[in-house]
Amino acid sequence: MEAGLKTFEAVMAIARLGSFRAAALDLGMSTTALSHAISRLETTLGVRLFNRTTRSVSLSDAGRTFVNGIGPALSEIRLAMETAQSQRSTPSGLLRINASVQAGREITPLILTFLRRFPDMRIDLVTEGRLVDIVAEGFDLGIRPADLVPRDMIAIPLGRPQGYAVVAAPDWIAARPVPLTPADLPLEDCLRVRLPNGAVFRWHFERDGEIVQIEARGRLSLDEAAIARAAVLDGAGIGFFIEQDVAEDIAAGRMVRLLEDWTPPRPGFSLYYPGRRNPAAGFSAFLSMVRDAATRHARQGEAS
């Protein structure tokens, strides 16, 4: 008769703890039942697995070989069982997501749909400019532009590619010549953007294979898109934004877009995470929803 999984677990517990009594307590069974199970296994194998005295228990040579052989297999079996259980269980618990402000806006509709679908789930969305180590700071997932995702992470594209927009207030434009190329920009009137690492962002332009980068020299330096938007609306000068941050202002005529043919798309956002061998049900459900959304966006892009 073949021994069951519980018997193999019992062998490993005795080998680990060096005591039948301690192993029985660890396994939640009586010492007598444990002893009988091991005796039946030894009879089946035809060898003694443990050397027993009144004071100690140790593995025999055959027992040591047996434990070394079944140990890795038991670990794989436990992992397979845990994975199956996590897939079967109802998603619940907390997911912590770190994102840039713009990425947070991009993912919020999907988060709200997820919470409606899984009422036992909670999400903590933290938006900030700096690029954080999501593992070290206790986040499950991160969302950043694709070109900023750390190379050791698994990434899933989100949505469409982003675009840049160079804009100024209508009154500001009316009093000055309209720049037709990046070289025409009055650098002293271009708002300076400070990156999370403290460096000044260089405005990037591209057209017909020609790449131009300029460094703004305006008197105002900012690190927050909302404040920069307010400054441009107030006539402080020319701003360089992610398109979605000022799209409504452009459409409403509050801002005039400049050099549109020089501002190509930039990489879209990606959701990223470290590899996990046994993810929780809620984590897996959220990734599945993100992948489905990414597939829909890709198909819409192909159709258009």
pLDDT in tens, 102-122: 889 889 999 999 999 999 999
What does the domain layout of the chain look like in residue ranges?
Answer: 5-88, 93-160+268-303, 162-266
Residue 301 is predicted with a pLDDT of 57
| CA dist., res. 272 & res. 270, Å (int) | 6
Classified by CATH at the fold level, domain 162-266 comes out as D-Maltodextrin-Binding Protein; domain 2 (3.40.190)
One fold for both 5-88 and 162-266?
no
Could you give the C-alpha distances from 160 to 272, 273, 302, in angstroms and in order?
A: 16, 20, 11
* pLDDT mean across residues, the chain: 87
Q: Confidence class of residue 245 from pLDDT cuts 50, 70 and 90?
A: confident
| CA dist., res. 107 & res. 240, Å (int) | 23
| CA dist., res. 207 & res. 261, Å (int) | 7
Q: What percent of the chain is modeled with pLDDT above 70?
A: 91
Residue 154 is predicted with a pLDDT of 93
The answer to whether domain 93-160+268-303 has CATH 3.30.2310.20 is no
The CA angle 111-225-297, to the nearest 5 degrees, is 40
| CA dist., res. 53 & res. 68, Å (int) | 23
Q: Confidence class of residue 1 from pLDDT cuts 50, 70 and 90?
A: very low
Higher local confidence (pLDDT), 54 or 197: 54
| CA dist., res. 42 & res. 3, Å (int) | 10
Task: List, in sequence order, every beta strand (DSSP E) within the chain.
Answer: 50-52, 57-59, 93-99, 121-127, 141-145, 154-158, 162-168, 192-193, 202-207, 210-215, 221-222, 239-242, 256-258, 265-266, 269-273
> Given a cut of 70, is residue 277 above it in pLDDT?
no
The CA R_g of the chain, rounded to the nearest whole Å, is: 31
Are 143 and 290 within 8 A, CB to CB? no
Residue 293 is predicted with a pLDDT of 84
The answer to whether domain 5-88 has CATH 3.50.50.60 is no
Higher local confidence (pLDDT), 301 or 238: 238
Residues with Cβ within 8 Å of 108's Cβ and at least 6 positions away in sequence, in order, are 125
Report the range out of 67-71, 135-139, 233-237, 276-280 with the highest average pLDDT.
233-237
